[in-house]
Amino acid sequence: MTTTMSTHQRAVEQIRQSYAEIPGDAAPRLAKSTSNLFRFRDGATTAKLSARDLDEVISVDPETMTAQVQGMTTYEHLVDATLPYGLMPYVVPQLKTITLGGAVTGLGIESTSFRDGLPHESVEELEILTGDGRIVVARDDNEHRDLFRAFPNSYGTLGYALRIKIKLRQVQPYVHLTHVKFTDAGKCMLAMQEICDSMVHDGESVDFIDGVFFGPGEMYLTVGRFADRAPYVSDYTGMRIYYQSITQRSRDWLSIRDYLWRWDTDWFWCSRAFGVQQPVVRSLMPRRWMRSDVYRRLVALDRKHGLTARVDRWRGKPVSESVIQDVETPIERGAEFLEFFHDQVGMTPVWMCPLRAGSRWPLYPLEPGKLYVNFGFWGMVPLPRGQFDGYYNRLIERSVHELDGHKSLYSTSFYARQQFWELYNGDTYWPVKREYDSNGRLLDLYEKCVRGR
């Protein structure tokens, strides 16, 4: 779907007026049709701010290779608008319903991040509704530079992205995949480092790289290269499952669109919790339902009504903890993290994605130019006898901190206040917060992401 700049301006004025009418004792929150956050709130006093008219692509300019996009536009819609021009965003997060505003104010990553960093690093301009009700246009070279730099990882606590100007890169129609098996995590990390540094594998340039850890003796790096032709293309939107194919074949071909959304059909591998990977169930399920936003809604319903917990109690199974996190460690500490995670948590598979930030972004202070590995793991883990909810997540937080890493804030966090502000640069955050939300209408980052208000 596309819109015009004049229609966009009318939507901006509407949301500005709606924001001004929210009572001062209610915390404003965007009303979105989809969410990829896993910080559920119970009983919070909030006022919904509709963003239904801010979810379209405004324009794609193939000459400058940029797009003007409304903040609540999903990457699925943006990719549909750019691919006909042979273009894509520099970093396309894995799930179709992640929004541009969500990826910029939160965190996103994908298999181009070893070269192109995080989604906000290809943003040229942000139009923001600030906490104090202003509409400002922030760039890295204007008077709102501090807001532009602090916006990533602020999770809507400084304001809301209404319009984003984002850079695009050229693509080819197909992606050729090579799956390389490793039986040792240390060697896997060394190979990842070598490929990311040289941007070459087997004498050919590399456009994409990520990996999957299935266990201490079985992990794979997947190297992708653009191609203008393909001998065949695989389809993982029906009966076949992408992550299972990694262990079954050494090479594969996908269209560029199917490559970008290869993880969405089965929410990486999390669809197995709903029985969707069983052949009979899968054959009966419409393809339009096999997508991440459907599974996310099922999780929300289950949490609301406690269905899984009831069944587990009836079956005499131990209480489980939700362990849904993305964390980064320096690549030289990656094998240590995998050893800790397998020994202490034991969940598999684990997604592995290298990233390198191009510059310093204060609220997520990765060292520019340094290679990190993102580890993503999502599921339920039975609690040891005598332990309570939060046991595993606290273990993970401590380990990541000890390994000089960071973790994303889209899910549950347990940091003490002082430690949190040390890790997420409160010294930079608070001056910007006071400048653009002087009355504290929006929750601060700790209150929103740790206390879950």
In a shared domain, residues 183 and 236:
yes
274 is a domain residue: no
Domain boundary residue among 230, 262, 294? 262
The sign of the torsion formed by the CA atoms of 348, 349, 350, 352 equals positive
**One domain for residues 240 and 133:** no
For 421-432, the pLDDT digits (tens) are 999 999 999 999
Report the predicted TM-score, pTM, of the whole model to 2 decimal places: 0.92
How far apart CA 453 and CA 437 sit, in angstroms, is: 17
Mean pLDDT (whole number) for 187-199: 98
Based on the domain organization, do 30 and 139 belong to the same domain? yes
pLDDT on residue 27: 77
Mean pLDDT on 73-101: 97
Indicate whether 20 pLDDT > 60.
yes
* Range(s) of the domain holding residue 14: 5-171+430-449
Read off the tokens for 388. Answer: 């309570």
In a domain, 299, yes or no: no
Do 161 and 198 sit in the same domain of this protein? no
* The token pair that represents 153 in the structure block: 């990882």
Same domain, 148 and 237: no
Q: 232 in a domain, yes or no?
A: yes
Please tell me the total count of domains within the chain.
Answer: 3
Is the pLDDT higher at 298 or at 11? 11
Tokens of residue 336, six digits: 């240590």
Helix axes 334-344, 391-402, angle to 10 degrees: 160
Task: Give me the pLDDT at residue 311, please.
Answer: 61
Does 358 lie in the same domain as 331?
yes
**Domain annotation covers residue 70:** yes
Q: 203-232 b/e with 16+ CB inside 10 Å = b? A: eeebbbbbbbbeeeeebbbbbbbbbeebee
Q: Is residue 251 part of a domain?
A: yes
* pLDDT 10s digits, 240-283: 999 999 999 999 999 999 999 999 999 999 999 899 999 999 99
- 145 plus 239 within the same structural domain: no
User: Angle at CA 414, nearest 5°, toward 109 and 132?
Assistant: 70
Cβ pair 209, 188 in contact under 8 A = no
Number of other residues whose CB lies within 10 A of the CB of residue 365: 15
Residue 222 has pLDDT above 80, yes or no: yes
Q: Assess whether 33 and 98 both reside in one domain.
A: yes
202-221 pLDDT, tens digit each: 999 999 999 999 999 999 99
Phi, psi of 409 (to 5 degrees): -110, 20
Is there a contact between 234 and 254 (Cβ–Cβ < 8 Å)? Answer: yes
Whether 422 maps to a domain, the answer reads: no
* Residue whose C-alpha is closest to residue 93's, from 156, 36, 159: 36
Domain-embedded: residue 360: yes
Is the same domain home to 409 and 445?
no
- 166 and 184 belong to one structural domain: no
The CATH code of the domain that includes 22 is 3.30.465.10
CATH number at residue 358: 3.30.70.2520
Summarize the confidence of residues 57-77 as an average pLDDT. Answer: 97
- Among residues 198, 227, 262, which one ends one of the domains? 262
Question: Under a CB-based contact definition with an 8 Å cutoff, are residues 182 and 219 in contact?
Answer: yes
Supply the pLDDT for residue 43: 46
Structure tokens at 137: 């246009």
Residue 224 falls within a domain, yes or no? yes
First to last CA, the chain: 33
Tell me the pLDDT band of 295, cut-offs 50, 70 and 90.
confident
Q: Which of 329, 371, 341, 374 is nearest to 211 (CA)?
A: 374
